[in-house]
Amino acid sequence: MMNILGKTRQFETMMGMLEEMGEKGLLTMETFSIAIKAFAAAKERKKAVGIFDLMKKYKFKVGVDTINCLLDTLGREKLGKEAQAIFEKLKDRFTHNLQTYTVLLNGWCRVKNLMEAGRVWNEMIDKGFKPDIVVHNIMLEGLLRCKKKSDAIKLFEVMKAKGPLPNVRSYTIVIRDFCKHRMMREAVEYFQEMIGCGCQPDVAVYTCLITGFGNQKKMDMVYDLLRDMREKDCPPDGRTYNALIKLMTSQRMPNDAVRVYKNMIQNGIEPTIHTYNMIMKSFFVTKDYEMGRAVWDEMCQNGCCPDSNSYTVLIGGLIREGRSEEACKYIEEMIEKGMKAPQLDYNKFAADFSKAGKPDILEELAQKTKFAGKFEVSNVFARWADMMKKRVKRREPTNSSRRFS
């Protein structure tokens, strides 16, 4: 329940539930992590950090593991600065360990702040902690995220020479970056080197290569890799299936995407909201609106809660089909759930209502959302309503043009 409320940004209800759980003594670290993630995802930084005060309120035992979990949650949500601030505030009250520095380093690398990441690395060594393979992999990924490829390759070579020796994760990080930049020859070279070093390839590295070759439309290589996975008893996981579905979607092959989806179900892998969004989008892009709606219905029937992307894909598809009135209902439903106004072709949306003799629909939506307290959303609709009014005025003939017509 906490997860659903957090994802749909129903924060008041979520916090009410957290308070109720506190009164009944049911709070766990997972409860607090869900709340932190939800606030962080909504860029509610103060509220995310404020969860720590709630821990103290309910006398939740705060040891090194709890603090590490809190710092990690903030770091993963790209709140490295906030994680560091909490660490500075509490560092004299608990004995930090290697994991503490690892999560801080990860937080800075995620926000591409290599200067702070380097400072944490040096402090970790000064405190007598030896960076392990996890720490090296985080730094490797951070360098590549900051487009410091040559520095990342140097670090990789140092790892091979002095240790810790690169593992499958290390190779996957480097191979993924090569695939991302369409450097497939180099990606394959590192893949072969990895096998030569005795590292058994896992699903993640295969998925990187499948995505890389798929983006270059080298489907023969994709099928070879899938065959290789089967032969090595390394079956595709959810991410592999999602990568294949994304490939089929980008190449406007919705029926093939559905075939991959069915194969995914047969192999006992649960589709995610991302899976449904991609298939739904592929049908709407190819103007198969009925199938697009069918995917939405199946998603809801399977208990998968639509996110803001789901609504944006569906509403955009309905608008392109000329079904703006139906789209309007879903916009209202989306806003009622506390989501932001979708990025849509509001020109088309407003034009359809103008043709239907309902030019004030955007103004009505602005009023509704304002009364509901969704001021940011209301401003978006009000701005578009104002733009549409100005356009209508510009199109109206002036008095002089009426006289000469």
Dist CA 323 CA 105 (whole Å): 49
Tens of pLDDT, residues 321-350: 878 778 888 888 887 777 776 776 666 666
CB of 139 within 8 A of CB of 158? no
- If you average pLDDT over residues 229-244, what whole number do you get? 93
Candidates 310, 350, 308, 309; CA nearest to 328 is 350
Q: How far is CA 63 from CA 51, 55, 56, in A?
A: 15, 11, 12
Q: Is 50 exceeded by the pLDDT of residue 404?
A: no
Q: Note the helical H segments in 78-126.
A: 80-90, 98-110, 114-126
Which residues are CB-contacts of 25 (< 8 A; sequence separation ≥ 6)?
none
- The Cβ of residue 174 has, within 10 Å, a number of other Cβ atoms equal to 26
Range 188-194 average pLDDT: 97
What angle do helix axes 98-110 and 64-76 make, rounded to 10 degrees? 10
What pLDDT sits at residue 352?
66
Locate tokens 């009014």: which residue? 389
Q: Indicate if the pLDDT at residue 390 is higher than 80.
A: no
pTM of the predicted structure, to 2 decimals: 0.78
**Interval 360-382 mean pLDDT:** 73
Residue 400 banded pLDDT, cuts 50, 70, 90: very low
Q: How far apart are CA 376 and CA 364, in angstroms?
A: 15
Confidence band of 236 (pLDDT split at 50, 70, 90):
very high
User: Where do we find the tokens 């020479």?
Assistant: 161
Residue 394's alpha-carbon distances to 345, 387, 389, 390, 391, in angstroms, are 21, 11, 9, 6, 5
Q: In which region does residue 158 sit, left (phi positive, over 0), alpha (psi from -120 to 50) or beta (all else)?
A: alpha
Radius of gyration for the alpha carbons in the chain, expressed in angstroms and rounded: 26
Q: Do the beta carbons of residue 340 and residue 376 sit within 8 Å?
A: yes
Tokens standing for residue 282 = 């592929």
The dihedral formed by the CA atoms of 356, 359, 361 and 366, expressed in degrees to the nearest 10? 170
- Read off the pLDDT of residues 89-141 as tens digits, 9 standing for 90 and up: 888 888 889 999 999 999 999 999 999 999 999 999 999 999 999 999 999 99
Query: Is the predicted pLDDT of residue 351 greater than 80, yes or no?
Result: no
Cβ-contact 261, 275 below 8 angstroms: yes
Between 22 and 49, residue with greater pLDDT: 22
Distance CA 121, CA 109 (A): 11
Q: Of the candidates 307, 314, 308, 274, which has an alpha carbon nearest to the alpha carbon of residue 290?
A: 314
Q: Tell how far CA 189 is from the center of its chain.
A: 30
Return the DSSP state at 292.
H
pLDDT digits (tens, 9 = 90+) for 268-298: 999 999 999 999 999 998 889 999 999 999 9
3-state helix vs strand vs coil in the chain, percent to 5: 75, 0, 25
pLDDT band at residue 401 under the 50/70/90 scheme: very low
Angstrom distance (rounded) from CA 77 to CA 89: 20
Q: Considering only residues 77 and 355, tell me which one the structure prediction assigns the higher pLDDT.
A: 77
